[in-house]
Amino acid sequence: MDKYITIFEKLLDIINWNTLKISTYKLDVDYNVASNHLKTLLYFHLAKLDSLRDIDDFMQSDSKLT
């Protein structure tokens, strides 16, 4: 299977992950949880999911994107 670069991956390249790593260390938060949370929130925002109900419906669907 060919490897394609998505727009979402390009958007993630803009983020300064080192700043997030330093911030999570200062706040005593797990970096992996914070980075996954940020990626998830960005994806849902780009998918125009406006409410928790929309997100729940999306996660319950048989979409191949999840």
Q: What pLDDT score was predicted for residue 65?
A: 57
Q: What pLDDT score was predicted for residue 3?
A: 76
Q: What pLDDT score was predicted for residue 46?
A: 87
Q: Where are the domains of the chain?
A: 7-60
For 53-66, letters b (16+ CB in 10 Å) and e give: eeeeeeeeeeeeee
The per-residue pLDDT for range 1-15, each reduced to its tens digit, is 567 778 888 989 999
Q: How far apart are CA 57 and CA 30, in angstroms?
A: 28
Q: What is the DSSP string of 13-43?
A: HHS-HHHHHHHHHHTT--HHHHHHHHHHHHH
Q: What pLDDT score was predicted for residue 6?
A: 81
The per-residue pLDDT for range 12-64, each reduced to its tens digit, is 999 999 999 999 999 999 999 999 999 988 988 888 888 889 888 888 886 56
